[in-house]
Amino acid sequence: MKRGINICLLGVLATLLFCFGHCPKWTATDKRGFKLIKNEGGQTLGYAPTSGVQILTIDGFAFKDLNKNGKLDIYEDWRLPVDVRAKDLASKMSIEQIAGLMLYSAHQAIAAMGGGQFSGTYNNKPFSESGALASDLSDQQKTFLTKDNLRHVLITSVQSPAIAAQWNNNAQALVEGIGLGIPANNSSDPRHGSDAYAEYNAGSGGKISMWPGSLGIAASFDPQLMKQFGQIAATEYRALGIATALSPQIDLATEPRWSRFDGTMGEDPNLTTDMARAYVDGFQTSTGSSMIAGGWGYKSVNAMVKHWPGGGPEEGGRDAHFGYGAYAVYPGNNLKDHLKPFTEGAFKLEGATKIASAVMPYYTISFNQDKVNGENVGNSYNKYLITDLLRGKYGYDGVVCTDWMITKDTKAIDLFQGKCWGVEKLTEVERHFKAIEAGIDQFGGNNEMGPVIEAYKMGVSKYGEEHMRKRLETSAVRLLRNIFRVGLFENPYLDVAETVKTVGNPEFMKAGYDAQLRSIVMLKNQKKTLPLQKQLKVYIPKKYIPGGRNWFGVETTEKWEDAIKPELANRYFQVVETPEKADIALVFIDSPKGGVGYSSADVKQNGNGYVPISLQYEPYKATFARKISVGGGSPLESFTNRSFKDKTSVASNSNDMKTVNETKAKMGNKPVIVIVKVSNPMVFSEIEKSASAILIHFGVQNQAILDVLTGSSEPSGLLPFQMPVNMKTVEEQFEDVPRDMKCYVDTEKNVYDFAFGLNWKGVIKDKRVIKYKR
């Protein structure tokens, strides 16, 4: 009997020894459309049975056989460092596969729109006629994922979080079964803005948490709030299948007329630097069980900081999405301040990821900033700015991705088409090659690999095949690194139910709403008009919405509408129809919409097309503008001087000024409170005297404004930029120099300067002001 027991024990021992090296240390679970495998003490894997991927068991652990060769390749081994895996995979890729990896798709809506610039089809039919699900891939998406090897997708609007998650799973299952099994790295522009008319309820969620814009968060002067936003936004992004943020926009807003001013973090180099660092740390850092290595993991989102070397100093405020705004100028010789948010902020993180994983140069020609070759070409084509300065001097080895459509042609200076500034005479293929020579890794808005392959062939003719292969592999490693370290190779799939629970949950909604409250700035509070008692009789005039045309050429008609939902206002006040019946008036307006700086009407009158951008409501004549522009010259124009001196412009919403002043006249001595949604600095002299109190914001829910007006929340925001006294100081300031305007002084003797703001007690003079108003 002892002999039998011994034999039994020997058998158990043998089994244990065998299992030590061979028995699985993982368990599998079926999910909707994919399988989930949990490795004991290792990474969790997700794969779609439809992709044909098999699971290999090595040393008891599970691995995905992505290239289906029946063995564990280096890049498939999640135990190895990211760089080792990325280099192995890059070496296995064909030139066609690398070319596809170097593409970033045009804007993709889920489901695809039926018409317009970014439309798509399903079985050659518009979505509404196709019978397809909103989460299905469009014909165009299938094409660029399979035929063009594209793996970076820019997602815009989605019907719901659940649909976004299922679309992600469908896309990942498709690419997992192709070639080397490289997953899709989906991305997004900022998507956490506030809907003014939405209502906040502490016990309910929403489609996604709503926050003020980055300029509004900057108005808190609290980098920790920006970091909190980054952490929450990253969690929601990953739940939507988004692993790269095409943000933050850390351009220094030193030119007050620029149309993208409100997407920045203000004009101060120190505040913007701290905010940029906090934003990237919040987005990129994973902790605890979600971390894979070095701060990266399943809660991480790659941050693509933009726009190198700073898109803020646009001459005259004209934007470089159009040829008329191609030039960034430096009359103050101050490039250094514009680099600081990158070099001292995004590239010197406090968190373990250490540095922003990607950079996007702007469309602009940074005029006369090339200190080696003297080239005045778009930033992505400039070897000095990309290779010598960014990669050389500052040692940046992350991804550099062009802004969208820089290699495409354009037919006119004022059309929303290609943005090939400075290289208009090159072919599309030559532009790709020049950008690669400059040091670019990726082409934004390009769905087709053909031009990249042709550019590679040009390089082979010039440098030889070995050189060009090595050059493209270098870019491939950078791009793959960002996919590996956020865990997409292991598990790119989403549990749709978890997505629904995560995105816009009550905790995240509350954090966003609290940030909105903190972003509101009080500029004036004459005789302690605020806070107001609830249930006062309030007159709220309608708001004028000017007509016009957006960047994509879509026309809108002018209209008058309720400034705020009456049912919301009635929760706080008794809304009355006329000023005579009111105790107070609330006037909601926008900062002046002073145009884009170019007018086809001026061309028809034999002008050069260039007109002033105004920051005031009244008609403005540019008496003090420079006679000769700093930048100029384009094959699309026959002249180089883009001056608009002595020309006139009128704000499209001048009715806002009229509404304020007419309301004051009707109210007599009764208080008029003005609430301004601010997109740019503005000249307050036209309306300030008519206001007993002034609140400004940068995109919040109207409910947040009412909570501040009635004292439920005390205003604490500070101006992250200056408010000019007049347009003369705007014309005389330098586009590249911060805080160089003469500021407006109101009837209360308060100066609307950087870091100014009021609370109920008066002018705020706390540690934030002391730190940043140096």
| Token representation of residue 665 | 């006249």
Cα–Cα distance between 243 and 186 in angstroms, integer? 6
Backbone angles phi, psi at 686, to 5 degrees: -75, -20
CB 251 within 8 A of CB 264: yes
CB 318 within 8 A of CB 597: yes
Backbone angles phi, psi at 661, to 5 degrees: -70, -35
Cα–Cα distance between 648 and 619 in angstroms, integer? 7
| Token representation of residue 320 | 């470089």
| Token representation of residue 34 | 């994919």
Q: How far is CA 354 from CA 296, 303, 396, 587, in A?
A: 10, 12, 12, 46
- Axis crossing angle, helix 223-239 with helix 269-284, rounded to the nearest 10: 30
Beta strands in 162-268 (DSSP E): 185-188, 242-245
Residues 692, 696, 701, 705: is their CA dihedral positive or negative?
A: negative
Cα–Cα distance between 774 and 767 in angstroms, integer? 12
Cis bond upstream, residue 212 (ω within 30):
no
- The one-letter code for the residue type at 436 is I
Could you tell me which of 113, 165, 108 has the C-alpha nearest to residue 135?
Answer: 165
CB 613 within 8 A of CB 649: yes
Could you tell me which of 541, 553, 552, 557 has the C-alpha nearest to residue 652?
Answer: 557
Neighbours of 742 (CB within 10 A): 16
Could you tell me which of 34, 185, 186, 192 has the C-alpha nearest to residue 108?
Answer: 186
Q: How far is CA 706 from CA 526, 588, 757, in A?
A: 18, 12, 18
Cα–Cα distance between 487 and 485 in angstroms, integer? 5
- The one-letter code for the residue type at 672 is V
- Axis crossing angle, helix 161-176 with helix 139-146, rounded to the nearest 10: 40
- The one-letter code for the residue type at 90 is A
Q: Kindly state the DSSP code that residue 385 receives in the 8-state scheme.
A: I
Backbone angles phi, psi at 386, to 5 degrees: -90, -55
SS3 695: strand
List the end-to-end C-alpha distance of the chain, in Å, as a whole number.
Answer: 90
CB 671 within 8 A of CB 585: yes
CB 595 within 8 A of CB 258: no
Neighbours of 473 (CB within 10 A): 19
Cα–Cα distance between 681 and 756 in angstroms, integer? 13
CB 359 within 8 A of CB 396: yes
Cα–Cα distance between 492 and 494 in angstroms, integer? 7
Q: Dihedral of the CA atoms 465, 466, 469, 472 (nearest 10)?
A: -110
Supply the residues annotated as catalytic.
Answer: 403
Cα–Cα distance between 130 and 543 in angstroms, integer? 40
The residues with which 763 forms a beta bridge, in sequence order, are 758
Could you tell me which of 214, 105, 213 has the C-alpha nearest to residue 446?
Answer: 105
SS3 633: coil
Could you tell me which of 699, 554, 702, 703 has the C-alpha nearest to residue 263?
Answer: 699
Matching residue, tokens 């954090």: 511
